Amino acid sequence: MDDDIDAGLNLNISVPTKRPSFGAANQRGKISGSRQQRIKARRSQKKWNEKQKARTHSENSNVDRSSKPETKTGGKDVQTKSPQKDVDNQSSENKSEGNKKKPSGVVISSLFRHNPEIPTVKSLTVKQVKEDLFSSDSFQDTPLHPYMKSNLDKLGFSKMTSVQQETIPKLVTGHDVLVKSQTGSGKTMSYAIPIIENLCQQTPKIQRSDGCMVIVLVPTRELALQSYDVFVKLLKPFTWLVAGCIMGGENRKKEKARLRKGINILIATPGRLIDHIENTQNLLLGKIKWLVLDEADRLLDLGFEEKVAKIIKAIDSNQSSERQTVLLSATLSQGVERLAGMSLKDPQRVSISDNTVNSRTMIKDKPNISKATDNAISSPDHAETGKENENYALPESLKQYFVITPCKLRLVVLLILILSKCKRSLKTKMLVFVSTQDGVEFLYRLVTYLSKEHNSDSDVEEEEEDKEQKTNLDVFRLHGDMSQKDRTSTYQNFCTANSGVLICTDVAARGLHLPFVQWVVQYSCSTGVTDYIHRVGRTARAGTTGNSVMFLMPSEIDFIKHLNQRNISIEEWKLGVILKDVTRILPMLPGQEETQRQAPKTVEESATYLQNCCELFVKNGKDMSGLAKSAYQSYIRAYATYPHDLKPVFHLRNLHLGHVAKTFGLREAPSNIANIPGVNTSSLQRKRKLKDDSKKQVVKKPRHDTVSEFKSPLMFTKKTKKNSKGKQRTKKVKVFQGKIIKKKKTSSK
């Protein structure tokens, strides 16, 4: 069994169609010879092609539809400073020019036309829940083992964080504990230190051959590696204690061999642990003294809960000694706490935000703070009075923004952000969250291509193949469908990089400490407030500063209310301000030297130029067209899986599929892109049109799937409708871990 939780984190759609051919770039004969000769040959071929094109153009005005300047009116401004005027001028200029001679290399698309109006949003300035990150206590003042103290000093840790100050004493004194504190507040060490402290004091001394005494369960493989690293560092002076890591994607035989040799502290992902519990004789659970559920709310999510329950059952049925259990997360809801309270023994609760709030208010009343955290969560008072919609703390040093961008402009706005902020020279690291694996792959290829130093003599295919080519920034990608080797090296390389952009799915959203990330971009909106908190929590960690920006389409702005309701304050970043930076990245783009004479001047022209670079790359880049289509389909499918409470905000009905296609650089009409299993795109288009025409919703509210990648790995959705003969047709779509594995139509007589 290798079905780790992170493998199910990402929605992906298998594409029923085969990959299309790559157009002109592939049809052309290969040119051989030295590089110089190839360049020469390509140059003359290009000139000839251009002449041919110009001739065909004048003879036959059958131009690419997207290259025609828009003449229709009715599109709304995307900026308050009225770019429409510029666009209109531009389009009329192009129109007249287009009749004479179409400027070569510049394809004018309708990026700034027919966009929905950008609404004015009032994000409330709510009072965010704050936590004091550091305590006043030093590790040196604690009664920890002298080796531990000197090691912590060597590692550069002097002051305890608040969560460590609260949690360590409780765990050392043998309690089960539930820990909630903000992202990046040092929760890992808050359980690792007392575990090591406890094990190193056992007499007789623990031996490797004593086997497993601690199990730390984490939801993703990268987090397993990270937690393992923390243990290895802390165990340096305690050479007789051995930590080990087992996780999906790794070689089982090697893991078995390591388990046979003996591992005292085992960090594991749930799927692989169950595998070893069932198949590895050397993994004995009789001596387990500690069980840690890191990112507990994620581990106890419906679907994953089953695996964790199986592991707990296996431990309980083998156990001969007492066990301590710890649950931790930045977003432990009281629902999870109540659930956990049933399986934990007299648990104590550490909630730093409660503490901070209490301490700030209690200072006036009485200075007894610590009692506030001593309430056992199983106390009926606490359970009854607790609201489900908890407010979570976010780091004070985190600046949160959102940008409202019409769908069509999303891609260029993202690229402007990445290319302007992450250049190598600027030493900036950025995370970009995307909803699907195909989306990650698509953006990875596109950003890598755009960040290369372009040679005016080489073409798209050649530039792509040229691995030696210099790049202006390092681009990384991370998702659950990569080989474990690639995942590990990406994670490690991004950790040590000085700058770069990591394009990833939610596989990187939980627990990962990626040093010096200054920007977190949510290109696809998170599937809830909890995930929002974990995503933005990848920056501004342990007291450093950081920024996050969330992309919203005009139809999605109500998500701000959801954040405000949970006391999260977020500021608008005006679209026009980001767009302005397009002029800064223009020199990086391909074809700039060739087109100096027609160099885009206005922001709109430049953004359009950037979009066209993407579209040409999608058209001519190796496999790009197929990849873009897959990414488009996956995106739409993923959009259909927002949880029920967010359906009114993120509804398929609100998507303009043509505009979505544009964000994947596709010039085809949605009807020409293969159908998306389970999604009736033509009916959606019709409904959108109806809505646009009448400016109000006239269609009957359709039933929508509530498939969430985070809710259940196995789910059936049913759609029932009557066919022309009045017979009922039931369409069944089976989704397994976000992938459609079966589609069946049945007719009942």
Ligand X SMILES: Nc1ncnc2c1ncn2[C@@H]1O[C@H](COP(=O)(O)OP(=O)(O)OP(=O)(O)O)[C@@H](O)[C@H]1O
Residues that bind ligand X (CB under 6 A): 157, 159-161, 164, 183-189, 330, 511, 513, 537, 541-542
Name the token pair of 468. 């030696």
Distance CA 333, CA 296 (A): 10
Element (H or E) spanning 267, and its range? strand 265-268
CB nearer to ligand X: give 68 or 541.
Answer: 541
CB 614 to ligand X: min, Å: 33
Distance CA 178, CA 740 (A): 37
CB nearer to ligand X: give 26 or 150.
Answer: 150
Q: What is the dihedral of CA 203, 208, 209, 214, to 10 degrees?
A: 80
CB nearer to ligand X: give 187 or 408.
Answer: 187
Integer CA distances (angstroms), 596 to 104, 587, 589, in order: 11, 10, 12
CB nearer to ligand X: give 159 or 580.
Answer: 159
Distance CA 166, CA 175 (A): 12
Query: Across the strands, what pairs with 398?
Result: 546
CB 530 to ligand X: min, Å: 12
CB 268 to ligand X: min, Å: 17
Name the token pair of 59. 């003879």
CB 185 to ligand X: min, Å: 4
Name the token pair of 210. 């004593």
Residue whose CB is nearest to ligand X in the complex, by number: 186
CB nearer to ligand X: give 292 or 414.
Answer: 292
CB 156 to ligand X: min, Å: 7
585 Rama sector, left if φ>0, alpha if ψ -120 to 50, beta otherwise: alpha
CB nearer to ligand X: give 189 or 660.
Answer: 189
CB nearer to ligand X: give 135 or 359.
Answer: 135
CB 188 to ligand X: min, Å: 3
Integer CA distances (angstroms), 422 to 73, 401, 410, 498, in order: 37, 18, 18, 10
Distance CA 246, CA 250 (A): 7
| Amino acid at residue number 269 | T
CB 322 to ligand X: min, Å: 26
Element (H or E) spanning 89, and its range? helix 83-100
CB nearer to ligand X: give 497 or 660.
Answer: 497
Distance CA 90, CA 363 (A): 63
Extract the runs of DSSP E, i.e. beta strands, from 562-682. Answer: 571-572
CB 133 to ligand X: min, Å: 9
Within 8 A by CB and 6+ apart from 230, the residues are: 188, 189, 192
CB 678 to ligand X: min, Å: 34
CB nearer to ligand X: give 308 or 330.
Answer: 330
Distance CA 641, CA 651 (A): 9
Distance CA 368, CA 736 (A): 51
CB 701 to ligand X: min, Å: 38
Overall residue count recorded for the chain in this entry: 749
β-sheet with 728-736: strand ranges across: 714-722, 728-736, 739-747
CB nearer to ligand X: give 514 or 638.
Answer: 514
